[in-house]
Structure 1
Amino acid sequence: MQLTIPQAAKLYGKHRSTIHRHIDSGRLSCGFRGDGTRVVEMAELIRCYGEPKHLPEEMQPSATDKNGDMQQAMLQALQAMHSELVALRQEVAELRRLPSPEAPPKTPPSQTSATQPQDEDLHGLRSLVQSLRDHDRQSDDTSDR
C-alpha cells in the first residue's frame, strides 16, 4: 500500500517536513506516482518508524459482507473451472482410446518440390538447353572443316 507524504505524516503523527528530511537523507525511500506525487510504501514506513498506532481505514478489517460475497463468487468460479477440467480430462482419455488416423506417407526431406527428379522436364528447359548444345556442336563441326 502506498501513502502520500501528507498521509504518512498524519498516520505517524509527524510533520511533513520531517518525512521529507528523512527521504532526502536516505533514511526513508520513496517512489513517484504517474502524476509525479511522492509516495512511500507502508512496509518502508513500518521499517523506519515501526507499526503505526492506528491503521488507516483501508487497512482495517471491514465488517461488511463484501469479502464474503467475493469469496463466494471466487468459490463458484473455482468449482466451474474444476468441473471443466474434469470434463476435458475425460475427453482427452476418450480421444487416446481412438485408433490413430492413417497419415499419408511423408516425402523424404531430400526430395522436395524444389528438387524434381531428373526425368521430368516440366517446362521444356532441359530439352531447349540440349538442343542449343547440339546446335553449337554442329556449328563447331562445320567450322572445323
Structure 2
Amino acid sequence: MANLYGLHRSTLHEAVAKGRVTAGIDGKGQKVIDLSEMIRVYGEPPGSTRHSPTPTPDTSPTPLFDTLHPLLEELRLLREEVRELRETMRLLEHKPEVAPAQPKTAAPSGPQEPATWASLFSALDE
C-alpha cells in the first residue's frame, strides 16, 4: 500500500497506530490494510485507472423504455393540465350567493298549530 500510494511505510504504521487507518490481521498474523480503507482515507491511488469515477450511462433505448415512453408522455401532459386547472381556479373569484332579504316578522306567541296544505298555499298567493 505504501508503494501504491507513494507513502513511506512508517507513515502507514503511524496512521494505523493513531487510528486514522484501520488494519486487519491476515492468516499469518500480519497487519494488512484493505484497499477500500486506503481509498476512504487517502482517496484513489495516484495514476489509478482501475476505478473510474463516473461510469458512462447506457442511453440506448430498451424495450422497457419503449413501452413506458407513451405512458410517461401522457403523465407529463396530465400534470401540465392539472397545473393549468389549478391556475384557472386561483383566478376565479369566489362570489357567495346572497339570499334576498326577508322581512322580519314577530314570532307568534303561544303554541303554534301545525301547518296545513291550505295555509301553505294561501301564504304563497300573498
Q: Does TM, scored on the shorter chain, surpass 0.5?
A: no
**Greater relative CO, 1 or 2 (CA 8 Å, sep 6+):** 1
- Normalised by the length of structure 1, the TM-score is 0.33
- Normalised by the length of structure 2, the TM-score is 0.37
